């Protein structure tokens, strides 16, 4: 399965905090691709926006959360775009979100499925 096929299967579902949000969906796609769920030990930690904000704050924001997930899953950070990488993408509105690299773009979870963006800051691979 390609990264894009996995995103179509997993991210093209309605938004649900903690499982089908930007973090949960990106980690579920990564799990489908590699058998590693960077969010496994944290699933169920929140179920709404305030809970998600507290969860991210607990780890120092999106960067700290991504670093925690990567460390727990044994991932290494890379500086070159790699299809299938998980990382911090930047939406066209300038918001940092978790996403999956699908080539020259990143797939990111949206309220009614997913979108793509070419912008990113950090990425991790197996």
Give the pLDDT of residue 112.
Answer: 86
Instruction: Tell me the per-residue pLDDT of 88-106, one tens digit each, with 9 for 90 and over.
Output: 999 999 999 999 999 999 9
Tell me the mean pLDDT in the region 9-18: 93
In a 13 Å sphere around the CA of 74, the CA atoms on its Cβ side amount to 4
Domains of the chain (ranges; CATH) run 3-125 (3.90.1720)
Q: What are the Cα distances from residue 27, in Å, to 71, 93? A: 14, 22
Instruction: Tell me the per-residue pLDDT of 23-63, one tens digit each, with 9 for 90 and over.
Output: 999 999 999 999 999 999 999 899 999 999 999 999 999 99
Burial class (CB in 10 A: 0-12, 13-18, 19+), 93: exposed
The whole-angstrom separation of Cα 50 and Cα 60 is: 15
Instruction: Tell me the per-residue pLDDT of 112-121, one tens digit each, with 9 for 90 and over.
Output: 899 999 999 9
Give the pLDDT of residue 11.
Answer: 95
* Residue 4 in this model has a pLDDT that exceeds 90: yes
């Amino acid at each position: 399965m390609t990264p894009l096929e996995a995103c179509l299967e997993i991210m093209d579902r309605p938004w649900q905090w903690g499982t089908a949000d930007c973090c949960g969906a990106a980690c579920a796609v990564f799990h489908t691709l590699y058998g590693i769920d960077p969010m496994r030990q944290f699933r169920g930690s929140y179920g709404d926006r305030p809970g998600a904000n507290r969860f991210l704050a607990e780890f120092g924001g999106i960067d700290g959360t991504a670093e925690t997930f990567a460390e727990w899953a044994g991932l290494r950070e890379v500086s070159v775009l790699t299809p299938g990488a998980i990382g911090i993408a930047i939406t066209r509105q300038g918001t940092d979100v978790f996403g999956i690299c699908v080539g020259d773009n990143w797939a990111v979870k949206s309220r009614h499925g997913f979108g793509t963006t070419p912008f990113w800051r950090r990425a991790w691979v197996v």
